[in-house]
Amino acid sequence: MNPDQYTVVINGKPQGPYNLAELKELNISANTFIRKPGMDDYKEAHAMPELRELLGFSYQKTAPQYFAAFDQRLLASVIDHFIIFGFYTVIILTSYIFIEGKDQRIMAFLVPFPSIFIVKLIYGSIAEASKSQATIGKKLLNIKVTDTEGSRVSFGISLVRNFSKILSVVPVFFGYLYSFLNKKNQCWHDIAANTLVIKDRLI
């Protein structure tokens, strides 16, 4: 199929295909949904560079509309903690080469245990402020952290978000359960940092 052929949603129905010259003759607005071969889904006209150039539209930032559900976020967190705990276990077991005695080995395992949560805090803050906007767990679930407009957050905001998870844990994890009452599925730490956890649009 010709890659320069476009399908246009007109009055709620897909019509076409049209080439670029024909598109110019149609009454297309910046928010008209258009699709061309190779695209998984329709996009608004302003989101396609060649149509912005052809029709004189400017790019409009669209706020996220698809938010990660609680179960997705929980599973992503479990995966992240499992990976970090795996590294922790390997390090501790390696240290047993130099530690003798059952009691000493138990202490060697338990005393540094809180470091898992510190590592998660630092790792999560760096990963969610990175280009991918996600930890390994979130990547596997196709979800990511953004600001309220869908843009990448700074490291400072990401650090505030992850540190504020204590607000969601106390009391009795209500801050996490609050996501069921929030239309954007935000937990208390998301609200504190003014962030969202979004997912890919379902095609």
Tens-place pLDDT, residues 28-67: 888 888 888 877 778 888 888 888 888 888 776 666 778 9
Q: Are 57 and 34 in contact (CB under 8 A)?
A: no
- Residue 129: the pLDDT is 96
Stronger pLDDT, 136 or 20, i.e. the higher one: 136
Residue ranges covered by each domain of the chain: 6-55, 70-86+115-199
Q: How far is CA 107 from CA 93, 102, 118, 163, in A?
A: 12, 9, 19, 27
Q: Quote the pTM value.
A: 0.69
- Residue 62: the pLDDT is 66
